[in-house]
């Protein structure tokens, strides 16, 4: 490695400072997270602006910062397909989901899906959909973290992943949602500031002329003009549509994002959260595009950032943004950006782990299994689940070391779009939905998405080393979402049971509450 020890010292100091600050926040929050409401939703007292920043901090993950800038670096214009897909999901959340979610739910989106349906089957399905999504998303963050620390500190990859997993368990176990929220807010501000500085320094080298900037990028890249044309990353229309659907509708099915809407006082603050988050995230994706092309110009042909073959980046393409920060700002900016990327990962994994733990304790243990548990016991189960999820994330992070992190997130979104989103949407807006329809359709979508991922090129060929994939497309969402919606519709309209009739009758009361908020729990003071 040719980035020398001075860099490491700077980065280590900033890493240590961030970890110290966040551990102090966790200690402060631990005293305010004694109740279930405090632990899961920070007492419902987060403002719209704070929550918008925290959501953007949650959403602007390692996959976004490292993965998308890496994809733009690798494929050019095509890398934008992820950014646009991610962003388009937010108006959907604003228009369709944010307000009813806050008005109907308590801790998790399963509270909403099971509002008028049978608790046990719906919560079980929602919990498994959440857990699969959370685990895939966690893998992406762990890979990003491992590569980052490996690159900067020279630590073994497995050790790096273990450090991240350990810190994540600490944050969530002791600080709950309040600690997670403030870690995410700090991280969002740091990441937006750091990415702005990099983009500014890159464009300054071209006197802020985009013509000169893109002309130089085309001249530097082996693909030349092809990097400005779409179609290199996803060549067939079915894959493009499938990925687009996953990114758009998966956003509205991510458990760690949906959970954030229970941290605000009311539906008005929930709407404000989405508006703020959309603005911050949109601005950020513009920056990742500039950073990706900046890396093509300033990193691609620089020997100090390349492996011995002279073609591959040290740390692979996911590290394009990190190397660029060194190219334009030296050791100081590299240290700052590395610390920020690390903060990014810690903030996101904390939110993910909390969402996964709440699915296990609140949805599965307390409600689906029907255990008569006290608040204290539910929280204790949640903390056990946090430790278990942390250990699993470390293990899977080591196994999936070679995968592009943005792709892993694409798979997580596919499952969220195939299971969580259809059930949530139809439970809020479709009167004829029955428990049988939701369970059969949702299960079919979840199983279809998982099977198609396993039989697709990434797992079947790249990981299991078979010669050809049984399912030819990388992204299953087009097929699995169709299975879910058709399954839910068919098994709901054919359900003539007494239970289904009662569920349809109770729809009007649910719809009234979802639109007015009459009857919801108010935020409790810390």
DSSP three-state, residue 372: coil
From 117, 112, 84, 111, select the one nearest 96 (Cα to Cα).
Answer: 112
How far is the C-alpha of 23 from the C-alpha of 256, rounded, in Å? 21
φ, ψ (nearest 5 deg) of residue 160: -60, -45
| Total Cβ atoms within 10 A of residue 391 | 14
* Global pTM value: 0.80
- CATH code, 5-406: 1.20.1730.10
Residue 296 CA to residue 329 CA, distance in Å, equals 16
Give pLDDT tens digits along the chain (526 positions): 344 444 467 777 877 887 788 788 877 877 776 677 777 777 777 888 888 898 888 777 766 777 788 878 777 777 777 777 777 777 777 677 778 888 887 777 788 888 888 888 888 888 888 888 888 888 877 887 777 777 667 778 888 888 878 887 877 777 777 888 888 888 888 888 888 998 898 888 888 787 887 777 777 766 666 566 666 566 677 877 888 888 888 888 888 888 888 888 877 888 888 889 888 988 888 888 888 888 888 877 777 777 666 666 776 677 788 888 888 887 788 878 877 777 777 777 777 888 888 888 777 777 666 666 666 777 778 888 888 888 888 888 888 777 666 667 767 888 888 888 898 888 888 888 888 999 999 999 988 988 888 888 877 887 777 778 888 887 888 899 999 999 999 999 988 888 888 888 888 888 888 877 776 655 444 4
Q: What local confidence, expressed as pLDDT, does residue 6 receive?
A: 44
Cα separation of 408 and 135, whole Å?
10
Distance CA 215, CA 53 (A): 35
| Closest by Cα among 339, 343, 65 to 182 | 343
With residue 361 as reference, give the H or E element that holds it. Answer: none
- Domain ranges within the chain, ordered by starting residue: 5-406
Residue pair 405/62 in contact (Cβ under 8 Å)? The answer is yes
Residues 89 and 248 sit within 8 Å (Cβ to Cβ): yes
Among residues 115, 113, 118, the alpha carbon closest in space to that of 497 is found at 118
Return the number of other C-beta atoms located less than 10 Å from residue 106's C-beta: 16
| Residue whose entry in the numeric block shows the structure tokens 């404000």 | 272
Rounded to whole angstroms, the maximal C-alpha distance in the chain is: 71
430 Ramachandran zone, left/alpha/beta (phi>0; psi -120 to 50): beta
Residue 46, φ and ψ in degrees, nearest 5: -80, 135
Q: Is 525 exposed, middle or buried (0-12, 13-18, 19+ CB in 10 A)?
A: exposed
**CA pair distance 95, 363, nearest whole angstrom:** 26
């Amino acid at each position: 490695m040719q980035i020398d020890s001075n860099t490491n010292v700077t980065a280590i100091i900033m890493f240590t400072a961030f970890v110290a600050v966040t551990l102090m926040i966790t200690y402060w929050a631990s005293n305010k997270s004694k109740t279930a409401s405090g632990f899961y939703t920070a007492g419902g007292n987060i403002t719209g602006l704070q929550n918008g920043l925290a959501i953007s901090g949650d959403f602007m993950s390692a996959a976004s910062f490292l993965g998308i800038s890496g994809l733009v670096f690798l494929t050019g214009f095509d890398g934008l397909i992820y950014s646009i897909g991610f962003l388009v999901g937010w108006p959907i959340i604003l228009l369709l989901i944010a307000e009813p979610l806050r008005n109907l739910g308590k801790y998790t989106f399963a509270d909403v899906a099971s509002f008028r349906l049978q608790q046990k089957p719906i919560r079980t399905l929602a919990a498994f959909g959440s857990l699969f999504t959370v685990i895939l998303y966690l893998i992406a963050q762990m890979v990003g973290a491992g590569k980052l620390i490996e690159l900067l500190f020279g630590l073994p990859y497995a050790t790096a992943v273990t450090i991240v997993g350990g810190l994540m368990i600490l944050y969530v176990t002791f600080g709950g949602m309040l600690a997670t929220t403030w870690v995410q807010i700090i991280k969002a501000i740091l990441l937006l500031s750091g990415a702005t500085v990099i983009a500014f320094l890159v464009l300054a080298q071209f006197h802020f002329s985009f013509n000169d900037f893109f002309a130089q990028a085309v001249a530097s890249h082996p693909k030349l003009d092809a990097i400005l044309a779409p179609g290199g990353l996803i060549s067939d229309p079915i894959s493009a549509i499938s990925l687009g659907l996953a990114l758009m509708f998966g956003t509205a099915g991510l458990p760690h994002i949906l959970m954030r809407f229970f941290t605000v006082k009311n539906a008005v603050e929930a709407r404000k959260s989405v508006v703020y988050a959309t603005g911050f995230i949109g601005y950020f994706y513009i920056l990742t595009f500039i950073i990706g092309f900046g890396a093509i110009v300033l990193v691609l042909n620089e020997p100090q950032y390349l492996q011995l073959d002279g073609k591959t980046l040290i740390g692979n393409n996911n590290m394009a943004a990190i190397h660029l920060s060194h190219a334009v700002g030296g050791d100081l900016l590299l240290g700052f950006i590395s610390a920020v990327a690390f903060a990014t990962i810690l903030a996101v994994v904390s939110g993910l782990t909390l969402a996964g733990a709440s699915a296990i304790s609140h949805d599965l243990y307390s409600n689906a299994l029907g255990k008569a548990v006290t608040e204290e016991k539910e929280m204790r189960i949640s903390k056990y689940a946090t430790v278990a999820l942390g250990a699993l994330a470390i293990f899977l992070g080591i196994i999936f070391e070679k995968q592009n992190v943005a792709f892993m997130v694409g798979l997580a979104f596919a499952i969220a779009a195939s299971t969580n989103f259809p059930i949530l949407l139809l439970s809020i807006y479709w009167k004829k939905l029955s428990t049988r329809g939701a369970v059969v359709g949702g299960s079919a979508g979840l199983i279809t998405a998982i099977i198609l991922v396993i039989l697709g090129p990434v797992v079947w060929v790249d990981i299991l080393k078979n010669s050809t994939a049984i399912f030819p497309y990388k992204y299953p969402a087009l097929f699995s979402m169709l299975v879910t919606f058709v399954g839910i519709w068919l098994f709901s309209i054919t359900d003539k049971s007494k239970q289904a009739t009662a569920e349809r009758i109770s729809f009007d009361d649910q719809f009234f509450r979802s639109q007015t908020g009459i009857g919801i729990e108010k935020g409790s003071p810390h």
